[in-house]
């Protein structure tokens, strides 16, 4: 009898622990959005005008297609996630009209494996939305081309591969009350919407496929409007932004009405953000997800950059562009009719004027802060807002017109310490940056002149970089002058009290910039400029705010 009671108690304890753990994970875990107030657009308008001409092909586009058509797709195995390469090989071969018979035979031998959404212990076969999203593009690109996608293959695709359908719209992780991540929702529900639309438009009158009456169109529109109102939750995400991007391109290309229109607006916002925060395809902003102990240090091949590289090559094929990774996402840019607005392309390729811009990402987030012109770009690294924020802070970066492809090849700084969770790298203002840590100077860069702990480097003719790098204090400032010696003399004269540099810098351009290197991680490091208090609560900043536009 005692043994039965003991076993019963153990069972109760285990069950209680499991229930409590489940509830806590639902409350505190996951990668779904946390919201506060809508984000204002700000005083910088997102460009929309399109008059530029783009070519149908480019060396880079052809290189991407050739890379995929040279590979062989692999059969799908039960209980294993489908390799994303398979769908890219299929799309590329059919786009190029290569190995058509082989590709159709291959597709007829495949069936759906798993379920959509994030996998976890009780939902181990998730992630099928990665596959469904890609093969949805196959349906729409080739479903009306029976010489490429045979009718029998198309029907098999609809019945056995594109299995996300009907009215069961879902935002939560399987078997949980926890909202799924942004990219999973867009891939899953975008695929559902588009399969329903295809069947309905091709004569299937089952009400569950009518997006306008089954609730799918309304709910998907609300998801897109939420992103428009509160911003991308997974902003700059490595690697998930690439999947969000492809899902939005699918909806822009293949959906109808409001869904296509809203997807285009979100793509425009993404690309304008990139145009302002990148320099010659160098891009290293703070991001939300993937959160780990460290981050990759390549600066020229994130999954946003690869899209813009393709479009830039189609606009200006003679431009020299290298792509070392990301071809699985860049493929979408090779076939999409969507192209960035004129001003976006202009700012990506040729910064028309000096500028300073702050880009807010809302509640429980951190901003992007940029100072740049045609010869350089200073990029703030942001600040983590607690582990649940999933924000990866980056160093403050200085991008120059050079061949740098990794963080180590750039002037950069971060602090305090080496753990990005502890950093507040928001200390960027016009032609100036500061942080609580030393400046990292790339190998091979030599100062022209130095004195009083200051070093002067040449950026281009008449533009110089001044660096102050001591324990617990790093400063970078951009100067326009015809002489490095004049720059150094002005800096030392304006900032004769070296101790004052811990909280204030007098820039020869006329700005008095005050900062707090001990700022809480939810506050902008810059406190006052020319004795005017700054709005430091960046959780309330607009999407795009600048005195330069």
What's the mean per-residue pLDDT of the chain?
A: 94
Global pTM reads: 0.94
> Has residue 470 got a pLDDT over 70?
yes
Inform me whether the pLDDT recorded for 537 exceeds 60.
yes
Q: What pLDDT, in 10s, does the model give residues 422-439?
A: 999 999 999 999 999 999
The residue whose two tokens read 């926890």 is 178
| pLDDT at 251 (0 to 100) | 99
Give the per-residue pLDDT at 260.
99
Residue 7 predicted with pLDDT over 70: no
What residues contact 332, with CB distance under 8 A and at least 6 apart?
A: 137, 245, 246, 249, 250, 307
- Give the mean pLDDT of 474-487: 97
Report the C-alpha gap between 542 and 427 in whole angstroms: 18
pLDDT digits (tens, 9 = 90+) for 18-46: 444 444 444 445 566 666 799 999 999 99
Give mean pLDDT, residues 184-212.
99
Question: Chain-centre distance of CA 88, in angstroms?
Answer: 21
Q: In this predicted structure, what is the pLDDT of residue 5?
A: 66
The tally of CA atoms less than 13 A away on the side-chain side of residue 345 is 21
Tell me the two tokens of residue 387.
Answer: 């582990």
Determine contact, residues 514/504, Cβ cutoff 8 Å.
yes
Mean pLDDT computed over 149-178:
97
Name all contacts of 440-443 with Cβ < 8 Å and 24+ positions apart.
Answer: 440/395, 440/408, 440/411, 440/412, 440/413, 441/411, 441/467, 441/469, 442/404, 442/408, 442/409, 442/410, 442/411, 443/408
pLDDT at 6 over 70: no
Task: Name the least confident of 122-126, 163-167, 403-407, 466-470.
Answer: 122-126
Q: Please report the pLDDT score of residue 345 as a whole number.
A: 98
417: left (phi over 0), alpha (psi -120 to 50) or beta: left
Residue 62 reports pLDDT greater than 80: yes
How large is the average pLDDT for residues 437-457?
97
Check residue 21 and give its pLDDT. 45
**Cβ atoms 227, 173 nearer than 8 A:** no
Minimum mean pLDDT range among 22-31, 79-88, 279-288, 307-316: 22-31
The mean pLDDT of 255-274, rounded to a whole number, is 98
Asked whether the predicted pLDDT for residue 371 surpasses 90, the reply is: yes
Residues 6+ apart with CB under 8 A from 289: 31, 181, 234, 237, 238, 240, 390, 392
* Predicted pLDDT of residue 1: 57
pLDDT tens figures, 300-322: 999 999 999 999 999 998 888 88
Nearest to residue 439, comparing CAs of 396, 406, 380, 480?
Answer: 396
Per the CB < 8 A criterion, the answer to whether 437 and 474 are in contact is yes
Percent of the chain at pLDDT exceeding 90: 89
DSSP 50-74: ------S--HHHHHHHHHHHTS---
What secondary structure does DSSP assign to 364-400, as a single string?
Answer: T---EEEEEETTEEEE--B----GGGTEE---EEEEE
pLDDT at 13 over 70: no
């Amino acid at each position: 009898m005692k043994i039965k009671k003991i076993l019963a108690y153990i069972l109760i304890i285990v069950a209680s622990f499991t229930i409590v753990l489940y509830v806590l994970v639902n409350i505190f875990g996951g990668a779904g959005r946390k919201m506060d107030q809508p984000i204002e657009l700000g005083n910088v308008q997102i460009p929309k005008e399109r008059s530029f001409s783009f070519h149908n092909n480019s060396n880079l586009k052809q290189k991407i297609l050739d890379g995929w058509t040279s590979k062989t797709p692999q059969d799908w195995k039960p209980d294993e996630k489908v390799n994303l390469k398979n769908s890219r090989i299929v799309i590329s071969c059919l786009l190029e009209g290569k190995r058509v018979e082989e590709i159709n035979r291959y597709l007829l031998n495949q069936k759906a494996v798993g379920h959509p959404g994030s996998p976890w212990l009780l939902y181990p076969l998730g992630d099928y939305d990665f596959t469904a999203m890609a093969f949805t593009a196959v349906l729409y690109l080739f479903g009306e081309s029976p010489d490429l996608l045979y009718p029998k293959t198309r029907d098999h695709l609809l019945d056995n591969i594109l299995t996300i359908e009907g009215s069961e719209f879902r935002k939560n992780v399987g078997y949980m009350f926890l909202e799924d991540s942004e990219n999973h929702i867009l891939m899953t529900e975008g695929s559902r919407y588009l399969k329903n639309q295809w069947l309905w438009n091709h004569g299937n009158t089952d009400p569950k496929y009518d997006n306008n009456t089954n609730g799918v169109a309304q709910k998907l529109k609300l998801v897109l409007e939420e992103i428009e109102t509160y911003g991308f939750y997974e902003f700059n995400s490595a690697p998930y932004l690439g999947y969000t991007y492809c899902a939005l391109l699918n909806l822009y290309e293949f959906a109808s009405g409001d869904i296509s229109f809203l997807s285009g607006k979100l793509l425009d916002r993404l690309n304008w953000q990139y145009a302002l925060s990148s320099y010659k395809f160098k891009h290293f902003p703070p991001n939300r997800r993937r959160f780990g102990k460290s981050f990759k240090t390549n600066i020229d091949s994130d999954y946003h950059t690869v899209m813009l590289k393709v479009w830039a090559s189609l606009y200006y094929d003679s431009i020299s562009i290298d792509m070392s990774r990301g071809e699985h996402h860049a493929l979408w840019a090779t076939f999409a009719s969507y192209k960035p607005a004129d001003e976006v392309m202009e700012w990506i390729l040729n910064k028309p004027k000096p500028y300073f811009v702050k880009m807010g990402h809302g509640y429980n987030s951190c901003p992007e802060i940029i100072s740049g012109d045609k010869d350089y770009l200073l990029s703030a690294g942001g600040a983590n807002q607690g582990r649940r924020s999933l924000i990866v802070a980056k160093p403050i970066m200085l991008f120059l017109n050079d061949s740098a492809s990794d963080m180590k090849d750039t002037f950069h700084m971060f602090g305090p310490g080496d753990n990005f969770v502890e950093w507040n790298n928001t200390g960027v203002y016009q032609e100036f940056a500061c942080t609580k840590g030393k400046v990292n100077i790339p190998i091979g860069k030599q100062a022209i002149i130095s004195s009083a702990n200051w070093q002067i480097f040449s950026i281009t003719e008449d533009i110089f970089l001044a660096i102050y790098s001591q324990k617990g204090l790093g400063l970078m400032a951009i100067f326009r002058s015809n002489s490095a010696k004049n720059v150094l003399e002005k800096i030392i004269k304006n900032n004769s009290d070296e101790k004052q540099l811990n909280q204030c810098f007098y820039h020869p351009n006329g700005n008095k910039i005050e900062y707090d290197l001990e700022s809480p991680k939810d506050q902008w490091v810059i406190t006052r400029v020319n004795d005017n208090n700054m709005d430091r609560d960046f959780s309330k900043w607009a999407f795009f705010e600048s005195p330069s536009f």
